[in-house]
Amino acid sequence: MINILAKKRALKAQIKKIAKIDQISIIVFLIMIVAFLWRIWQINSLPKGLSLAEIDILSKAADLTKSSWVIQSNDIFNALYLYLMAIIGKIISFNILWLKITQVCLGTATVCLFYFFVKEWFNRQIALFSTLFLATDAFHTAISREIEPAILTPLALIVMLYFMTLALRRGKNRWFALSGIVGALSIYIDKLFIFVPIVFIISMIYADYKNSKAFLSLRTKYLVSLAMFLIFSIPYLFVLPKVFSYLIDAYNPGSVGQYFMNLGSNVWSLVFQSIPGQLYYPGLEPILSPFLAITFICGLIYILLHADRRQFYFLIVLFSMIVISFSLCGKQTPLNFLLLLPLLFIFSSIILDYLLRNWLRTFPFNKTARIFFTFMLSIFVFLTVYYNYEKYFLAWGKNDAIQKQFNQTFEYNKDSK
């Protein structure tokens, strides 16, 4: 009799667990649908035409199809995107609508992979919050609807971190190899990724400090990752002498004082007033919505106070390295902030998860208190999503002065040389 009751309890527990997993899967699926629809809605009319920046990218991609597929050395940092657009463009004769749909798919894939990465690092709650914020973010939405190489920047970062996580947790050579490959390929996406080796070195120093035995046991696997990184970096190393002066100019703020002004301005841009970027957002709107800005600051403070945790340490290192690196740039551009977006949403989601867990722990049986917190959290999420909707589809999309910058057309002549 006791065994039968125990089996029934175990069966009920298993059913509840499966039901919970299914509910989460449905929520994740709905977020992906929202991310896709958010990016493809009115894709052919908002914006109506192409900007000069988009024309420049399309011209370079079209030239690749007519010049034996040899890329110019100065374009090495956008090489993967240019080849992708050139290959797809060649197949579809550079149909602009389908190229923009490709951009939408890249943006949606970023949101999808972001969920799996955050879930692997933290938990499903943090993953759901942060993924929803990325899915509806106005800035990422704008990049997902234009012909813009920067769409690959957050995607490359997420994939690289995801593979590194799987490599360290599963200890398989293939994950270490893939980490090295993605780390090398990221160099052909954005010049900011030339700092990837520094992040690897800091991570290995930390791993050795925390557990030297575990680090030494994986030393051959780290060598596999390094070998793959060097092999796939060969094209970049080959053209490095030609682009070295370009890199020096790009990472030259002019003076120490100007560097610190850039650093302060970039931090200020996250929550108060950003640098101009009318192709992507109106006015001087901050990168984060007012609601996410508050949770980001609280999350940053919480992480700093608990930096002894491995995940939090890596978040702080990555956040610091990214801000420090793009503050070195002589020309500041809002596109640099795309590399920070995933981390910003994780910071915000960590504090929301912390509040949610502690509230439920404080009021485990008070139904009214639980409903109240759920209601307040729902209001927060709704206001955040609606703010981003207004920021892109209304404030930016209905601004005639901004939309006049998208007045170009592109024609592809496949027979011309």
Q: Note the pLDDT tens digit of each residue in 224-250.
A: 888 998 899 888 888 888 888 888 888
- What's the pLDDT at 13? 60
pLDDT at 314: 84
Q: Across 8-17, 102-111, 288-297, 330-339, which has the greatest mean pLDDT?
A: 102-111
Phi, psi of 408 (to 5 degrees): -100, 155
**Percent of the chain with pLDDT strictly greater than 90:** 39
Q: Residue 135: what pLDDT? A: 95
Of 387, 384, 310, the residue nearest 348 (C-alpha): 384
d(CA 174, CA 356): 37
**Helical ranges in 93-218 per DSSP H:** 96-121, 124-135, 138-143, 152-170, 173-185, 196-210, 212-217
Q: Measure Cα distances from 241 to 189, 202, 236, 245, 325 in Å.
A: 19, 27, 9, 8, 21
When pLDDT is cut at 50, 70 and 90, the band that residue 294 belongs to is very high
DSSP 391: I
Q: How confident is the model at residue 378 (pLDDT cuts 50, 70, 90)?
A: confident
Nearest to 225 by CA among 160, 277, 317, 135: 160
Phi, psi of 50 (to 5 degrees): -115, 150
pLDDT higher at 360 or 285: 285
pTM of the model: 0.89
Res 19: pLDDT: 53
- For residue 290, pLDDT over 60 is answered with yes
Confidence of residue 205 (pLDDT cuts 50, 70, 90): low
Cβ(112)–Cβ(160) below 8 Å: no
102-116, 137-151, 172-186, 354-368: range with lowest mean pLDDT: 354-368
What pLDDT score does 363 carry? 73
pLDDT above 70 coverage of the chain, percent? 89
- Please tell me the predicted confidence (pLDDT) of residue 51: 92
Beta bridge partners of 408: 50
Residue 161 Cα distances to 77, 176, 278, angstroms:
20, 11, 31
CA-to-CA distance for 92 and 305, rounded, in angstroms? 52
CA distance 42 to 304: 42
With 90 as the cut, is the pLDDT of residue 110 above it?
A: yes
Lowest model confidence (mean pLDDT) among 292-306, 323-337, 352-366: 352-366
pLDDT of residue 417: 54
Q: Are 198 and 321 in contact (CB under 8 A)?
A: yes
CB within 8 Å of 42: residues ≥ 6 apart: 393, 397
Q: Is the pLDDT of residue 213 over 90?
A: no
CA distance 56 to 331: 18
| Run of H or E residues at 315 | helix 310-327
Which residues lie closer than 8 Å to 323 by C-beta, 6 or more apart? 263, 266, 267, 340
**pLDDT given at position 214:** 62
Mean per-residue pLDDT over the chain, rounded:
86
Highest averaged pLDDT of the listed ranges 130-144, 252-266, 327-341, 372-386: 130-144
Q: What is the pLDDT of residue 237?
A: 87
pLDDT score for 2:
54
Q: List, in order, residues 6 or more apart from 14 with CB less than 8 Å away.
A: none
